[in-house]
Amino acid sequence: TDGKNLNRVFPGKKDGTLSDRIAEVITREVIERATHVIDIHCGDGNEWLRPYSYWVVTSAPAVVEASKQMALAFGLDHIVIDTERPTSPGESIYLANTAETRGKSGLTVESGGWGQTDEASIARIERGVAGVLRHLKMRAEGPEPVTQAVWLGPNEVLRSKFTGLLYPVAEPGQTVAKGALIARVTDFHGTLLQEIRSPYAGEVLYVVATPPINEGEPVGFVAERVAGPEWRPGK
């Protein structure tokens, strides 16, 4: 009703619009009362993705380490090292980052897409939650943590500069060279408007797989593989 993305307005406002007020309640009643927070996502209704998680590394060292262990315990083998989240509790923007800026371990996971409830994506999330519960000693048994994670560093959400029709070329999980074609955008009569190419030699984590596209909307997400969890910009 307010045109906002709930996961872009944290920690929210009591006197704001509907999304602001929902975020404020989640912050106050869930995040501030928790010790660990998992924000479980699937791809948007038009997104085709391979499963991955975000590990935020912009908070206190102890929180960063605890969040890494939680990401490994969840078990998704592709982990994006996120170095660009805000550090201010009052402008945390994202749900999991709101936990991090308050000294709590936070994790965002992605599994599923296209608005579907497929069994494999659901099972992957159930397995991940069970792994974290075991890691936190909230249950005696559960899956082992991932031991061979693919660490992803520099990343970019690719966006359309035009309103028109989207034709994805790359697929989720595909390894691409720098400059590789990810998608094309045409007008409604088929005239080419934009070729969207990868800024990195890396891996495609999601692409939008439905034709309608508006100016400024995401087209895909590409991330570069890095040597390990110790990677940071400039190292």
**What b/e string do you get for 5-15 counting C-beta neighbours within 10 Å, with b at 16 or more?**
eebebbbbeee
φ and ψ at residue 137, rounded to 5 degrees: 60, 35
pLDDT at 50: 95
pLDDT at 229: 95
Mean of per-residue pLDDT scores for the chain: 95
Chain segment 165-192, per-residue pLDDT in tens: 999 999 999 999 999 999 999 999 999 9
For residue 122, give Cα distances in angstroms to 39, 68, 111, 113, 119: 14, 22, 8, 11, 5
Q: What is the pTM of this model?
A: 0.93
Whether the per-residue pLDDT at 113 is higher than 90: the answer is no
pLDDT band at 130 (very low <50, low <70, confident <90, very high): very high
Chain segment 75-101, per-residue pLDDT in tens: 999 999 999 999 999 999 999 999 999
Nearest to residue 103, comparing CAs of 71, 133, 77, 65? 65
Three-class DSSP labels, 22-57: HHHHHHHHCHHHCCEEEEEECCCCCEEECCEEEEEC
pLDDT at 116: 82
Note whether 1 and 11 are within 8 A (CB). Answer: no
